[in-house]
Structure 1
């Protein structure tokens, strides 16, 4: 207690703000950039930080490198290069174990050089089709997909934004050279091997089996959709059978709402009437077929309030993020159309039918929505935090496949230039981004929207919060506490740093956890008189070791709803994996970067 009081009000206030920051991130839906920006503002107006100190993160080379790499990735996604690579590498598996290693190895390799979020977003639809063709259970593949992308990001300096951020902090605070592009591979490759072997050996018992292969796909793609029989429609007077509404595969008519009177268990001989509201449940392909049947229109009148002609619009699938401001609100109360210039025409929630009219349904994280929108919606929302996945149905926006080899060549040149030391990572990324635009591998408007501004804001503001922890002595106090618990042992201190960082990243975001754990780890090394590089690497790995909860890492949340998983599924397989990765990291890091 005396040590805490010795910090003065500035240190106590800073510790209190950090505690509140983590509580808000873990227990509310407030966007992380809002939370960290608010904390940084309080540190600035109270005089704990000067304006220069508070805003230093916005000019940090690591943060700028992350922003530019988003543009580089668009060159690969817009040309279809990543999709082409994934399809050519998966092949035909002989069983689930064969499928898992065929999936995890290329995903880990790609995630070493690309942000893992677009890698997972691209692999999800390809994986669904691949598993369907080979009669594989999707629940045995999606968690391995997410975990492999996380592990692969630990292999290089650009594999995840966390590595760049911590490395940038290390060079800024110590004045020493940071890690090379491939130096993390000494610990990253053992982590990948650990994750892959653990999934292959223990996955058959720890990965959930929710249903048979056929039922799994039915659950993943089942939508609730309402259609209206138009006035003067040719369908009026026809039976359900004659209208062709019984022949659509994977689709069934749940009920008819006729002027407020519900007709359940609809007979195939039931005659349709004008203004009948038909409620269907079924797979996406048949839902799309409904949109093409003459005389049927989406039951919501919002469709007719969108700008432009219907023939100029497109259908888009999106998955709601837990940061979407409409979570908990009904579609009508949230004014979805007014906010996004798009209309929800169908909704899927873990393969179960959602009762009620679309406008009266309260939205939840992980809900998959089928939207009717203008083509611009995809570009506007692809990198927004409101949605985890934004996928246009159909090929309204064709990919420039002929430029895929060129996009791959640009990325290879970037890696070679940075890895050989010819250029810094920022310089190589800037040249690669420019080459992608000049060669038309990506368009200027796509490149401008590519950087995730909320992620960048979290990184930049977290730099200032970490500076406050160090300036007030709070980081030194926490470091002393860790040393006390470790009884002066560097190995045990390293284990405690890993544990603390892994717990923080399970509750908040990996970048916030890493940046706030950094000054504690640095001061721990300084007080013990040992090489701080080992502690920095442990912070990098621990911040990415988000296996135990679906909310700990964005890729986990992306596969959560698609796979029909439960929270406990991640806890059951992710907790022992986190412990195992932690043991490997703490054992090997001091041997690679000696104390």
Structure 2
């Protein structure tokens, strides 16, 4: 290898270590790597920026608009409402969640599917008495597996197809992957059906008797000039709340716990309630109670324009590790934090002193525009209004589904390419007002697009400098191994990369290595490329490996060990199925 190959490998290693060891935004790290490769002369500007013109990357950007149209019209809730039903057992509930979510994920953005199903499943779990913790992780896994069935099912598939087009002149069709994707869905679904109830936690405790998926504490002050002063707890209507209960009263320097219904309220008593997110909305309707947080008073938003919002902290939130006070959360987002839930449990203590972590679920008081502004931002994984004043336009749901079906048919019959059919579908969503132009812009995740496009520069440099070929020579071909064994090595190495970094970056880094391995063994490269494609999506073991895993962590009250407990066997089953079937479908 010459110095450029060594420099490229050093750049890739630096990117991996930086992603793992620092909290620098992923797009910043990868754009920095792109800039270094261009400035050092390893890549020309055209080569470095090629990812931004790749058909796969552009298709991903356009499909964000199509997915947004389905989301805004409530098409997903419409389907979910018809299919969820009333199961009698946890196994039946798992199946009713798994089937529609895996089907929808085959044709639209996985993140959108999971984001729309989470509140539906939480509400559904209360009605069916099946804990949400038994259903939300299967929802994420169903979205992952369903996305492997079609070329548009996940961004990873489109990225790898874009690489195939640019390097090998080969383009996969819409349903090329279904021969492996469908068996994975069936096997994964059977595993969750028979083993999910045993391996998934049941986090119902004393507070979860209210059928809560997560728990918050809400602090309020008895207004000294209000009508509640001198009234008992029962007279004030605080005895039988639907979504929470009064846990303690702070009166001057003493604390009253387990207060009886006859306890009289005094001016400026601090009342601590525990319950679901709806508890905060319920308490706000009681005249004579004021928020205890001074941040709420400082919000520059008129009272009638405020609403309650639930938000899950994402891995690229700028204040990770900082206290809420030091992160200047209220000033930055014009939102006051009422309470914080971590792993399904409320965090006690002063709000301003809490240090925010990835997966923390915040209960916010903010403006009605907050959801629209930050739903597609990388600061938060999931943003949803507790009492949404702008319900979906359900009357347009059939139109959105017809547009989706037309896009699929045009692509599947090869009348149009996937990029062309996606462009037509996005235009139809806008033309029929399934989504507005402003909302379409907001739903295109430019950070994800930047990460994927910038990652292409690493793959290009690996191929151009011969680094990928050298890795194939020195690492993989040190022994006389069969193509089947080599396929397994490529698959498991991709899985390891995926659990450590993003799935798309893992696929882009492994693609040139897979091609080099196939060339050295003088066999068909397609089985190795397909292995990279599927392995990059098979992230079940950690919450950080795939975005949907992290999205359900807070609402499901999961711990990292829960992912390992059910995700490791799921990963091994998926690997065994993939490695066994790939050479039978795409021959060496």
Offset of 1:462 from its aligned partner? 0.3
Quote the residue 1:17 is aligned against.
11
Match of 2:554 among 551, 561, 581: 561
Quote the residue 1:541 is aligned against.
534
CA contact (8 A) 1:210 1:216 kept: no
Change (3 A) 1:230 1:217: closer
Quote the residue 1:523 is aligned against.
516
> Does 2:352 align with 1:359?
yes
CA distance in 2, matches of 1:247, 1:92: 28
CA contact (8 A) 2:230 2:265 kept: yes
> Does 2:284 align with 1:291?
yes
Change (3 A) 1:593 1:400: same
CA distance in 2, matches of 1:380, 1:462: 27
CA contact (8 A) 1:236 1:274 kept: yes
Match of 1:34 among 25, 28, 46: 28
Q: Which one is further off, 555-564 or 440-449?
A: 555-564
CA distance in 2, matches of 1:462, 1:67: 16
CA contact (8 A) 2:518 2:525 kept: yes
CA distance in 2, matches of 1:88, 1:444: 29
Query: Considering only aligned residues, what root-mean-square deviation do their CA atoms show, in Å?
Result: 1.9
CA distance in 1, matches of 2:299, 2:381: 24
Change (3 A) 1:112 1:51: same
Gaps of 5+ in 2: none
CA distance in 1, matches of 2:517, 2:200: 38
Spell out the pairing of 1:151-550 with structure 2 (5 A cutoff).
151-175=145-169, 177-211=170-204, 215=208, 218-259=211-252, 261-485=254-478, 487-550=480-543
Change (3 A) 1:24 1:267: farther
Quote the residue 1:581 is aligned against.
574
Q: Deviations over 1:35-69 (max 9, x none)?
A: 21122222222221111111111111111110000
Offset of 1:247 from its aligned partner? 2.0
Q: Deviations over 1:415-470 (max 9, x none)?
A: 11111111111111111111101100001110011111111111000000111111
Change (3 A) 1:546 1:207: same
CA distance in 2, matches of 1:217, 1:590: 51
Offset of 1:559 from its aligned partner? 1.4
Query: Taking structure 1 as the reference length, what is the TM-score of the superposition?
Result: 0.95
CA contact (8 A) 1:349 1:367 kept: yes
Offset of 1:403 from its aligned partner? 0.8
CA distance in 2, matches of 1:77, 1:25: 31
Offset of 1:273 from its aligned partner? 3.0
Match of 1:71 among 44, 60, 65: 65
Offset of 1:242 from its aligned partner? 2.5
SS at match of 1:232: coil
CA distance in 2, matches of 1:56, 1:159: 23
Q: Deviations over 1:536-581 (max 9, x none)?
A: 1111100000011111111111112222222112112211221221
Q: Which one is further off, 328-337 or 414-423?
A: 328-337
SS at match of 1:244: coil
Offset of 1:221 from its aligned partner? 3.3
Q: Which one is further off, 32-41 or 165-174?
A: 32-41
> Does 2:117 align with 1:123?
yes
CA contact (8 A) 2:215 2:274 kept: yes
Offset of 1:345 from its aligned partner? 2.0
CA distance in 2, matches of 1:568, 1:308: 41
Gaps of 5+ in 1: 1-6
CA distance in 1, matches of 2:106, 2:295: 44
Q: Deviations over 1:374-401 (max 9, x none)?
A: 2211111111111111111223113211
CA distance in 2, matches of 1:452, 1:411: 20
Quote the residue 1:140 is aligned against.
134
SS at match of 1:496: helix
SS at match of 1:220: coil
Match of 1:59 among 53, 64, 86: 53
CA contact (8 A) 1:225 1:347 kept: no
Quote the residue 1:44 is aligned against.
38
Offset of 1:307 from its aligned partner? 2.8
CA distance in 2, matches of 1:299, 1:408: 46
CA contact (8 A) 1:187 1:588 kept: yes
CA contact (8 A) 1:486 1:492 kept: no
Match of 1:103 among 97, 100, 121: 97
Offset of 1:187 from its aligned partner? 0.8
Q: Deviations over 1:245-297 (max 9, x none)?
A: 22213523333334455444444444333333322211222221111111212
CA distance in 1, matches of 2:420, 2:168: 22
Offset of 1:18 from its aligned partner? 1.2
CA distance in 2, matches of 1:350, 1:525: 44
Quote the residue 1:4 is aligned against.
none
Offset of 1:214 from its aligned partner? 8.3
Query: Taking structure 2 as the reference length, what is the TM-score of the superposition?
Result: 0.96
Change (3 A) 1:294 1:118: same
